[in-house]
Structure 1
Amino acid sequence: MNGASHSLGQQVFQKIREDILNGTYSRGKELKEKPIGEELGVSRTPVREALRQLELEGLITIIPNKGAFVVGFSGQDIRDIYEMRLALEVLCAKRAALSADKIQIEMMEEILYLADFHLNKGHMEQMMGLDDKFHGILYEAGGSKMLEHALKDYHHYLSRARKISLADSKRAHQSNQEHWKILEAVKDRNTKKVEQAVNLHISRAIQNMETSGGREHG
């Protein structure tokens, strides 16, 4: 398979994965190569490649002579991802406390000021985007490409649960205050403080997920 075809397969994979994670394709939905290819304007080959990759990630199951079906996530799957993210995010944030540069800190600060503004206006969609940006810069500031890649994947997998969670104005305000605590610890270069702040942030996210209807995913 040439590079262009492989790249196209990755694009199709990303699109289908996003549709599974945001609930467009629900649990049990059959994913048919031809309709998906027609919708995305590609041949069956990149769709088939994408479906194989999605099966490797456990998001779908391919049953011979029957088809490909969405598996999605259970509540336990989501909790497991949150707990794995917690372990890695603590490590990343502690590194960020030691290595974040002035520009990264200023960018995170600006994001949180903007988030406060949009929260006060009730702009929850903007808040979601700013939440992603804050964590993205924090991951970059950790200085490890491997950690950054893994954490961005976990963050992406939890997109639907986070969207449900952040739709709650009270939780959204609380979440942004927790971000301020994380940033304060990074600015202070205090690894113990940043560990405590990240633990609090993600532990509360797990608690909120369990009571906000985020039990089932996909």
Structure 2
Amino acid sequence: MFKDTAGIKVTGLPLSSNLFIQLRSDILQGKLKSGEKLTEQRICDEYAVSRTPVREAFRQLELDGLIETIPNRGAFVLGVTTEDIQDMYVLRKAYEAIAVKWAIERITKEEFEELQEAYEFMEFYTMKKDMDKMLNINMHFHELIYNAAHNRMLKHVLSSYQFYTKQTKVNLAYVDQYLDEVLNEHKKIFDAFIAKDPDAGAEAITIHLENAKKRAKLG
């Protein structure tokens, strides 16, 4: 059985994709350690699959920079370091400022209504102190902005950065004391959409991501 990082069974995807998702999750969560050797036979035995999906999953992991294949030695886990995550925050901050600007300029009425609904859910779950639901709707809020920017490459890059920074072991497990702070930061982002002010939106998202980095204890 393959599960994603939330522990939900993965279905409807090719076997190699499911295996890639599971192995990526195990690396990001630290279950597969940096420097650890991965053999095709070990993965075949552990996940009850043939060598073909294992080779394809390894290829995808190497493209993502999570493993390295060394000739005559095999595949080794590279993992994601704290420095990698620090760099991702810097890159994400730059790209997300562009995304917010474009989204404010390009958002449709329907997309704005979805964003408003997401923000209202954030308010509700903050009031309820429901940390898990707040974090999920937080990710959804950002994804709606990526969609509203109407640029496929930008959406792909930002979705990847968000996934990696949220799923790695070095990321902060939010505590109740941060929920109001995070909501207030998202309010300023949403207010920029209401005001149709791209510069205010870029400033608000930049401050939010700088604070998110501090909350993750990355400096």
TM-score range, shorter chain: 0.7 to 0.9
Pairwise mapping of residues 62-81 of structure 1 onto structure 2 (< 5 A)? 62-81=69-88
Between 1:89-98 and 1:200-209, the stretch displaced more is 200-209
State the 1:104 CA deviation.
1.6
State the 1:151 CA deviation.
0.6
Instruction: Please say if 1:16 is aligned against 2:51.
Output: no
Instruction: Give the length in aligned residue pairs.
Output: 207
Root-mean-square deviation (Å)? 2.3
TM-score, length of structure 1 as denominator length: 0.84
CA distance in 1, matches of 2:88, 2:171: 16
Instruction: Please say if 1:131 is aligned against 2:138.
Output: yes
Q: Of the two structures, which has the highest relative contact order with CA contacts closer than 8 Å and spacing of 6 or more? A: 1
What's the counterpart of residue 185 of structure 1? Answer: 192
Kept in 2, the 8 Å contact 1:97–1:188? The answer is: no
Instruction: Please say if 1:33 is aligned against 2:40.
Output: yes
Kept in 2, the 8 Å contact 1:20–1:26? The answer is: yes
Moved over 6 A (4+): none
Instruction: Please say if 1:99 is aligned against 2:106.
Output: yes
Kept in 2, the 8 Å contact 1:22–1:159? The answer is: no
CA distance in 1, matches of 2:146, 2:44: 34
Alignment CA distance shift 1:124-1:50 (3 Å): same
User: Letter of the aligned partner of 2:78 in structure 1?
Assistant: V
CA distance in 2, matches of 1:63, 1:134: 40
Give the counterpart of 2:92 among 79, 85, 94: 85
Kept in 2, the 8 Å contact 1:59–1:72? The answer is: yes
> Structure 1, unaligned stretches of length 5 or more?
1-5
TM-score, length of structure 2 as denominator length: 0.84
State the 1:162 CA deviation.
8.9
Question: Helix, strand or coil for the counterpart of 2:217?
Answer: helix
Percentage of identical aligned residues: 34
What's the counterpart of residue 166 of structure 2? Answer: 159
CA distance in 2, matches of 1:173, 1:135: 17
